[in-house]
Every structure is written in structure tokens, then in C-alpha cells.
Structure 1
Amino acid sequence: MAGTRPAVTADLATIPLPRRPLDPSDQVRQWYENELGWPVVPGPPGLPVCLRAGVRFDVLDVPAEAGRAALRHLRHDSPVAVHGDRMRLLVAAGSAPEVPGVLDWLEWGTLPLDLTALGEGDLVQAPLPPDRGTVMAVRPPDGPQGAAHGPRGLVPHGVGRPPGCGVVRPLRPGRPDAVQGAAVWLRPPEPGGEADASLPTLSALGGGGGAPDLVRVLDTVATHCHRLRLRRGCARPSTCP
């Protein structure tokens, strides 16, 4: 009969449903877990994945200017992330508890340095993998500078910054969660576990074999943190006659 729809003879139960693309957070999580073997946890509402410090690495959170000065003490494959005017230097797991003692030994311990060591119990928001986010490149000292280029000497390289690649300060119990902007890799970690051998460490922690010296990194960072603090203080007329 005209207008009659043909009968459906196929078993609809055997027809697979269209596969949904992975959620962006799942893609980020799989990259960190499968490619790097780094433990991750779900981020706060509205944010993607957080990395758990103290397992595969600890973190030195420092002003970008101080961190940039310390890059010469790191291997070219030492992972480093940039977040606004802050830099996160990844160091060997177990280093964070040693930082106050090393700073005391270097005679920096009594000064209010803008330096935070993150270790066991701390979470940091994961920058997007380098093939999905923005990778930063170091601009030569004589290159253009300005607010459009982010922290002085750091220039976005590659694709634009996608939404959702925010980073938060360390998430501690009782501290309200707040988005602080976007984090990107300056030196992204290499898959396959090679990143562990490139992290700054102390010889007492089993370092060696070409790993960067954490003491040198801390001394350089502390020196430039102190200089930055002095410059900021002298910028106030009441504190610098």
C-alpha cells in the first residue's frame, strides 16, 4: 500500500550506539596516568584534573623571574610549568620536607622568601598535555617584552590557550578553592618515566647519575626571590630614601 513504511527486520539490539568522544578531563587524565604514570585526582567543580604531589615529584612554586634564573641548573628535559607570574619547578619526590633545612644551611631561612615547596598531601592543577594546550618558549633577553607576552622572557608558543586549562594554588584542607588562571608547560614532561631522572634532588635522597643539584637550584631561586623583594621594597618611596 502506498505510504506504508517498510518493516524493520534488523535486530536493533545488535546495532551499536554511536561512541561518544572522551570528555576533555578524561583525555587529560589518561595522558598523565597512561603516558607518564602520574597519579591524578578529580579537580574541584569547573576544573579538570589535579596532580598529586609527593608521589612522583614535588614542586617548587616561585616567582617566574626567580625560576627563570634557575633554569640553567636544570636539564633540558626537567619539567617546568608557568602559571601567570609564577613558575613551578618539578623536583624529586621527597624534596619538599628538605627545603627548609637546605635554606637554613644556605643562610636564607630567616628571610621571607616568596617560595613554596609542595609535597605529600598537596594537589596542583594539571596543565593540559602539550598537544592540547600551550607550550611556553623562553624568549632571548633582547626580545620584545610586555604584558601581551606574559611573564617577561616567556612567550606563548603553539596553539592558543584553550578553555578549562586553569590551575589552582595548592589545595589544602580548609582552604577555599579558587581558580588562579591558566597553567602551561614551559618544559613538558617526557612520557615513559624519563622525567623522574631529570628532577633536581639531593644526594642524600639517592640522587646522582646526572640529576640536577637541588641545593644549587634553591640557592639561585632564593637569591633572585630576595633581589625581587628588595626591588619591590625600593619601589615604595617611604621604604627607600
Structure 2
Amino acid sequence: MMNGRAVRSVLIRNNRQENGSVDHVPRSIQFDESSEEYRCLCNCFHVKTGAFIIGCVHVLMILFFLIHSLFVYFQHDGRLQQARGVKENYVFGSFLAEMIGLGLGIFAVFLLFVALSRNSALLVVPHLVMQVIAILCFILVLVSGTIALCTDSAVFYRLINAAPFMEHPNNNTVALDTGTMVRIYSLMIVYAISLALEFWFIVVIYNCNRYLDERSDYMKYCLAFSTPMKTLSAR
């Protein structure tokens, strides 16, 4: 706002001279927020918009895994298992670990939304860290699921936390019914899809972090040596 009138900022690409340089802007500070480097999702969106979409997708994923974990935990008949002499430590342990992970995940998504609204690159870092952890967890779960399917090990079935089942106190293996196996295979597919998406999403979030960081550097330069409203497009 200038003299009571809204002034639209001009991208630096519109201020280029004939030789391709930008007036009064060092090459190390030059910044074009509409550059193809800041596009994502098949070049359809700006990385900032893409990061917001990814945050919304992560919220849906967290809700899905939360509902599924609660369903598995409460569907499991712990009293019957105790009567049969089966310890329940890892049943609750798997559930608790997933709840902690989902809690940290939703907090990281919240920080991502705050980062996008405040153009803060630093607040994107926790989300990147959680994505790395999520990728490692998905890989671990897929490996555990593969071992469980190959060996019928009850412990590995518990680790993937896919479906409730009864186990024999004297055996480390279980023979699951068809319905339970369908649920396990279905969740394994969901884990595999989630892993593939995370590999894609982490690149977008990283580019968004880089965009916000470079935008911040350019804004600091503008505040110190120029008029920001004439050089930086507000997003």
C-alpha cells in the first residue's frame, strides 16, 4: 500500500536489460519466483501451492492411519489372549509407537502450514525431518511385512499393525484366515503407495524450502538496498 493505493510488485524478470542482467541487483541475489525451478507436480503448481496440497494430503493420510490403528487396537481381544497365556506387550507397543509418530506428523504439518503463511523456510525443516523418518518407517514396515508373509511370524505381523489376530502361546507363527490376509495385503499396498508418494513429496517440500530461503535472502537485500514493493512479487 503506497499513498493509499495498492501497488503491485514487479518480478525482476521484467526489469532485465538488453544484456540479460538486472538493474542494481547482484547476480547472486537475483530471484524470479515464477521460475520453472519453483514449479512442481508436473509443472502445474508453484512449489508453495504444491507444498500446501501435500500438507492436506498428509492430513488425510494421518487420519487414515489413525482410524485404522484405533480400529485394530480396539478390535483386538486382549482378555482372551491373556487367558490363553499370550503376552500383550508388543500389541500395545505397536499402537503406542504409531500414535506417537502420527502426533509428531500432525505437528510437523501444522508447522508447514504456518511456514507457508509466514514464508518461513525454517519452519519447513521439521516437516522434511518427519518425511525422512516416515520414509524409513515405511521401508521398515514393508520389510517386516515381507518377512511376516514369508515366515508367518507373529512378531512381524504385530510390527506392521495391519490386522488383529489370535496366536497360540507356544508358537511364534500364526496361520491367518483369508479375511485377515486380505486386510494385510491391502495395507501393505497402502504402505507401498505411501512410500512412493513420500519420495515424490519430499522433493517438492525441499524445493519449497529452497524457494522460501532464497525469497528471504532476496527480501533482505530489497529491504536493505532497494524498494521491495517494486522488485518482489508478493505471494
Range into which the TM-score falls when normalised by the shorter chain: under 0.3
Q: Which has the higher contact order (CA 8 A, sep 6+)?
A: 2
- Greater Rg over alpha carbons, structure: 2
Scaled by the length of structure 1, what TM-score is found?
A: 0.24
More strand per residue: 1
